[in-house]
A = this chain, B = another copy of it.
Amino acid sequence: MTANQPAMDGGFDVLSLDCPSRLILQRIGDRWSIFVIAALSKEVLRFTQLKQRIGGITPKVLTETLRALETDGLVAREVFAEMPPRVEYRLTPLGRSLLGPISAVREWAETHVGEVLQARERAGA
């Protein structure tokens, strides 16, 4: 892989455009992925349940987000041949392993969001 020169303290060059971090941030940094992952963190959910829990998301965008997460192996989609149709979404083991890092960011955010907002105000935002 791309172990050019260790930046920060790992074996990857964080300044490289194809650094894995970038890939992952593009996946979870978008507007909705993290909501979906959070919603599925403890429950298997159906399409409409997801839509209800994640307020404000449109079906189109929810579909896109779910397909992207599925493509990357983070979410599993199971279709039951019933009438009416039933589709269940759950995190894969890979998806579940992301909960830890996300949690680290979330905890930082909860601890420091006040400081960020203060700085923002001080700057006149």
Secondary structure call for the A interface:
helix
Question: How many copies of this chain does the complex contain?
Answer: 2
Cβ contacts A107-122/B at 8 Å (1 or 0 each): 1111011011011101
Contact of A107 among B4, B10, B15 (CB under 8 A): B10
Contact of A94 among B73, B98, B99, B115 (CB under 8 A): B115
Of all A-B residue pairs in the complex, the 6 with the closest CB atoms, nearest first, are: A29-B29, A73-B119, A20-B109, A6-B103, A20-B113, A7-B41
Where the two chains meet, the residues of A that have a C-beta atom closer than 8 Å to any C-beta of B are 1, 3-12, 14-15, 17, 19-30, 34-35, 38-39, 41-42, 53-56, 70-74, 94, 97-110, 112-113, 115-116, 118-120, 122-123, 125
